[in-house]
Copies of this chain bind each other. A is one copy, B any other.
Amino acid sequence: MTIKVAIAGARGKMGMEAVHTIIKNEGMELVAALDYKEVGTTLAALDEFPKQYEVPIYTNFPELVRDTKPDVLVDLTNPHFVYERTKQALLHNVRPVVGTTGFTDEQLEELQQIAKDKEIGCIIAPNFAIGAILMMKFAKDAAKYFPDVEIIEMHHDQKLDAPSGTGIKTAQMISEVRNSKEQGHPDEKETHNGARGANFEGMHIHSVRLPGLVAHQQVLFGGTGELLTIRHDSLNRGSFMGGVTFSIEKVMNCNTLIYGLENII
């Protein structure tokens, strides 16, 4: 069975990648694009896409559903209208796959209830990079056996925040299973401030910033005579596409709302 997919946010960076990915996938058909304003009748009419992408663009969702009958709505827009659109999709029996954050707890609960009533799936994923999610999951698992852990995350030097969001998320996930422990020697001294990195509940996080880097992280676990390292390298936006494809397939086979790919991977 071919899965019929509609997409919102096709003109964004992530969206463009997703359009190519869905069109190339043999098990999927891209039946429509949803846009908030009139930009053209088909993707083919836009500069961003090749001439053969004859996918109709709609600004009205009910109309889109009536004409093209999608199974799934992939939403890669920003957080502004995403709650309303996700609700609307569910009410039209279209399964949402949403790649953004910005839902309140109340909104998530309401969407959860609708998915349950309709008995259809809904996946909301703040992070579509399956590799990064596996890294965090494995790190959490390993921390049960190796309480001594340090995180080194490495990004391009245009990044403003340190540590990275993924670095902090990883440390949080580890701290859920790890007995609190102040690592390093009790008498260790920094002769230059900051050498030992950020201290997150006794774990140390180090942030490297260099031109040439993209987005990389390694989690190092040390035990007597051994070292276990879990590393993820994200080299371009393509790293999110595996998660998009996976979610489109998965959402067809579940009948509840899932928040975060770590819960189905």
Contacts and interface: CB of A to CB of B under 8 A. Distances in A.
A191 to B, nearest CB: 6
Nearest to A167: B195
Contacts of A211: 148, 222-224
A183 interface: yes
Given A194-B193, A242-B145, A208 B220 contact: yes
B152 A208 contact: yes
A207 interface: yes
Contacts of A132: 226
Given A131-B228, A163-B191, A184-B157, A223 B208 contact: no
A146 B239 CA distance: 12
A39 interface: no
A92 interface: no
Interface residues of A, number: 77
A212 B226 contact: yes
A196 B157 CA distance: 11
A84 interface: no
A213 interface: yes
Contact of A157 (B185, B213, B238): B185
A226 B192 contact: no
A1 interface: no
Nearest to A156: B222
A227 B232 contact: yes
A157 B203 CA distance: 12
Contacts of A197: 194-195, 197, 206-208
B238 A131 contact: no
A222 to B, nearest CB: 3
B208 A235 contact: no
Nearest to A232: B228
A63 interface: no
Interface of A: 129-132, 134-135, 138, 141-142, 145-146, 148-150, 152, 154, 157-163, 168, 183-185, 187-200, 204-214, 220-242, 246, 265
